[in-house]
Structure 1
Amino acid sequence: MENTLIQADDTWLLWAFLAGWAAVSIYLEQKYKWASKLTGAIIALLGALILANLKVIPTAAPAYDAVWTYVIPLAIPLLLFQANLKKVLNESGRMLFIFLISAAGTVIGAYLAFFLMKDSIPHLDKIGAMETGSYIGGGVNFAALSGKLNPPGELAASAIVADNLLMALYFFVLILMPTLSFFRKNYRTPYIDDLEKNAGSGEENTASSYWKRKDISLKDIALASGSAFVLVGVSFKLAEWIDGLIPSGDDVNVVLNLLNGLFGDGYLMLTTVTVLAVTFFSGFFEKINGAQELGTYLIYIFFVVIGVPASIPLLINNAPLLVVFVGIIVLFNMLVTFSVGRVFKFSLEEMIVASNANVGGPTTAAAFAIAKGWTKLIVPIMLVGTLGYIIGNYIGSMMYYVFQAM
């Protein structure tokens, strides 16, 4: 047993730290500008990393295993309660197209980055798959694919640091784009033009008016939590049954291995079952308030656990190479989005929020649209960005098999 201030079997103290520090990270991110720039994910990770390296908390414990086993699976359906496919297709068809183009840019960038750096970074097949999923849907996909692929803890922590650093830098680039004459001359900017035309009209669009406090009842908490448990239980049991039904292994052909990996995997089955349930019973799920918030809080607990096994020297050694790897992915996401999007005559604003939703997820894209005053893009990008939670898991899993073959 490690010689730490809090021992591995001090389960309640460790859960107090995990849940408490996740809450502190969210509070700091929403309260202070410096923390929002750093991101709550990095604050959560750094707190755990520092305490683990100072021997305050252990680097392995049953409490951490419980997060991987129970917390992450419960977070996924909670965050998918708004993923009604019929609504996405009916209300956001145009935005969906540019979002998928942007996702294709992520895949191209991940493939090229892996080809160039596969001999320089260990376990890059797993990290590459996780980053592919992350840059199509956001941190939810990173968490789901981490649970599926189980990479070494220090590499996962380094990947989170690289992921968030490049995400922050790219958001800065996206903020600058509308102010640069090159983009104003070569791209349509109807939303910006409309804002400039109506400047001083007294219309306001503040983040507080959009992200207002929601009414939430005991019934909401019960239905959100109960539904999540049922979806996880049914999905994992179904995946376990299919895993036993479809053979896999070295002596089985590639197609059967692929089918087993897709349909016999608990996380992918959970995504599929949840989306089908939400689409066919949308009236039930859309009336549940607070599911998004509960799911996000659980994901922050995951970010805390990610930082626990990482040693600072290993983080310093691994992060620079991973920054280059992730940088290539982001570069191609940007190039494909803004070149193909221009061919199809999408507006600059549509391309910016679509690329933002790929790299940071739907909430960051909606926040960006709110901050810029592009009100008509808020709902479409939230719907389409939520779809990224779904396809990101599938594409990330597919890329894992592609990387292994390389």
Structure 2
Amino acid sequence: MINALISPDETWLLWAFLVGWAAVSIWLEQHYEWASKLSGAIIALVGAMLMANTGLIPVESPVYDSVWTYVVPLSIPLLLFQSNLRKIWQESGRLLMIFLLSSIGTVAGSIVAFILLKDLIPGLPHIAAMISGSYTGGSVNFAALATRFDVPGETVSSAVVADNLLMAVYFFILILIPAIGFFRQKYNTPHIDAIEAQDEGDKTTSASYWKRKEIALNDIALAVGSSFVIVAVSFKLAEMFRFLIPEDANIFLSALRAMIGDDYLMLTTLTLLLVSFIPKYFERINGAQEIGTFLIYIFFVVIGVPASIPLIIENAPLILLFAAIIVFINMIVSFSFGRLFKFDLEEIILSSNANIGGPTTAAAMAISRGWTRLVGPILIVGTLGYILGNYIGTALGLWFSSMM
């Protein structure tokens, strides 16, 4: 472990770094064309990765956990206040199809990687279960499957570091793809085209999208206050359903528990219902999207922090290779099926992202690129990966164990 210049318990200094670097990333994105093309999200992520790997900031801290626990949930309602439920469901059907096709890539990648490396990595069946589950619906599945197979702590730690580094690198690649001419020629890009059509003179695309707008103290109060209430009620409802439905119930009840007992799925569902039933209240709130987007940029900074390259080299180079094979095959399958069935480039990118990182990272990418119509749909579709991931990870773990 690198001895960082800032210790993990320096709460204010770390918060200053997270929030300050998020602000710098947004400022660069809106003032320089190179930064706009690269995206503020990548600047936030890569900057944090460099600072963590050079020992300026620690790779682990309770401050980072707070971002996952509080900042990310609060951002989701804020970003859905202007969502039209009818349009969201129309978009979700297409995203669900490419998400499921992308999941095939995770399964295929896990099988190929296991066959290639099963004699080289001790305990690979359980590692494969965790990573394949994680690369179907995000890190929530990783934790659940680590518990399910009672994986030793040191193995979990090594796999987490490999998972974080691969996730960060892959997000970097996915965000860069829209700027590559080959992909723009081969795939439809309606959301990117719409944003570029809004470009105004010497402004960057990002600055043109995030125009200055009228906002009052009343807007800030209602936006933040409503978000806190919605998060609190949603998480309490999900907790109640998890308590009422036993964890070891039959398949139907287990699936139901995973759906209505999931914090983020409940949060997304409740927000969309409220926005649909009392639309005038939410439509009158200015600035909610801006506040939510800033919170998501803080999240992007945190994603880059745990990707410790020295720890990977020391503890888990083969696990990193195993995860890389899965990610590579997921990408090939996602873009191949996407091309075959004529999905939009934005849909393919977000679906593959939702597989590898989960719904929150996919939504964050959609927000950072200005693909606002896809934020709600990818949150809905991505949360279904929590259910799929647990079943896929468990099935592969048991199958691989029987082959050893």
Alignment match, 2:101: 105
Q: How big is each residue's C-alpha offset from its partner over 1:213-239, in whole Å with a ceiling of 9 and x where there is no partner? A: 232222221111111101110011111
State the partner residue of 1:257.
254
State the AA in 1 paired with 2:333.
F
Pairwise CA distance, 1:394: 1.8
Secondary structure at the residue paired with 1:229? helix
Aligned partner (choices 298, 301, 312) of residue 301 of structure 1: 298
Residues 210, 52 of structure 1: CA spacing in aligned structure 2 closer, same or farther, 3 A cutoff? Answer: closer
Q: Cα–Cα, structure 1 residues 123 and 81, in superposed 2: closer, same or farther, change >3 Å? A: farther
Alignment of 1:7-156 (within 5 A): 7-88=7-88, 93=90, 98-118=94-114, 123-133=127-137, 152=157, 153-156=160-163
- CA pair 364-72 structure 1, distance change in 2 beyond 3 A: closer
Aligned: 1:287 with 2:284: yes
Structure-2 change in CA distance of 1:155 and 1:270 (3 Å): farther
Question: Which secondary structure state, in structure 2, belongs to the residue aligned with residue 18 of structure 1?
Answer: helix
Q: In angstroms, what is the RMSD of aligned CA positions?
A: 3.8
Aligned to 2:121: none
User: Per the alignment, do residues 15 and 405 of structure 1 end up closer, same or farther by CA in structure 2, a change over 3 Å counting?
Assistant: same
1:234 equivalent to 2:207? Answer no
The change in CA–CA distance for 1:255 and 1:157 in structure 2 (over 3 A counts) is same
CA distance in 1, matches of 2:46, 2:345: 30
Tell me how far apart the structure 1 counterparts of residues 167 and 133 of structure 2 sit (CA, whole Å): 13
Cα distance change, pair 321–227 in 1 and its aligned pair in 2 (3 A): same
**2:221 match:** 222
Cα 1:72/1:253, change in 2 over 3 Å: same
1:260 CA drift (Å):
2.4
Identity %: 42
Judged with a 3 Å threshold, the aligned counterparts in structure 2 of structure 1 residues 23 and 320 are, in CA distance, closer, same or farther, namely: farther
- The alpha-carbon deviation at position 131 of structure 1 amounts to 4.4
| Cα separation, partners in 2 of 1:31 and 1:87, compared to 1, 3 Å | same
CA-to-aligned-CA distance 1:275-313 (integer Å, 9 cap, x gap) = 222222222223322222222222222222233333223
Q: CA deviation at 1:65?
A: 2.5
Q: Distance in 1 between matches of 2:143 and 2:242?
A: 17
Q: Per the alignment, do residues 303 and 286 of structure 1 end up closer, same or farther by CA in structure 2, a change over 3 Å counting? A: same
Structure 2, unpaired ranges of 5+: 118-123, 147-155, 191-196, 200-204, 354-361, 397-404
- Work out whether residues 235 and 263 of structure 2, in 8 Å CA contact, stay in contact via their aligned partners in 1: yes
Matched position secondary structure for 1:5: coil
Structure 2: distance between partners of 1:67 and 1:385: 19
The 1:290–1:259 alpha-carbon spacing in structure 2 relative to 1, beyond 3 Å, is: same
Contact preservation (8 Å) 2:164, 2:303:
yes
Residues 389 and 354 (structure 1 numbering): CA distance in 2 closer, same or farther, change over 3 Å?
A: same
Residue 160 of structure 1 is matched in structure 2 by 167
CA contact (8 A) 1:357 1:364 kept: yes
CA, structure 1 residues 403+359, in 2 after alignment: closer, same or farther (shift >3 Å)? closer
The number of equivalent residue pairs is 354
Structure 1 runs not aligned, ≥5 long: 134-141, 184-188, 192-203, 342-349, 369-377
Structure-2 separation of matches of 1:242 and 1:277: 20
Give the conservation status (yes or no) of the 8 Å contact 2:92–2:381: no
Mapped to 1, the partners of 2:261 and 2:214 lie a distance apart of: 38
Question: Which shows bigger deviation, 283-292 or 308-317?
Answer: 308-317
Aligned partners of 2:144 and 2:381: how far apart in 1? Answer: 15
For 1:136, the equivalent position in structure 2 comes to: none
Q: 1:388 aligns with which of 372, 378, 401?
A: 378
SS of the equivalent of 1:401 reads: helix
1:401 maps to what in 2?
391
Q: d(CA) in 1 for partners of 2:365 and 2:65?
A: 29
- CA 1:383 to 1:311, structure 2 compared with 1: closer, same or farther past 3 Å? closer
Other-structure match for 1:137: none
Could you tell me the TM-score, scaled by structure 2's length? Answer: 0.72
Once residues 295 and 145 of structure 1 are traced to their aligned partners in structure 2, the CA distance between those partners, rounded to angstroms, is 25
**Which residue of the partner structure matches residue 373 of structure 1?**
none
**Separation in 1, partners of 2:39, 2:145:** 25
8 Å CA contact 2:98, 2:351 repeated in 1: yes
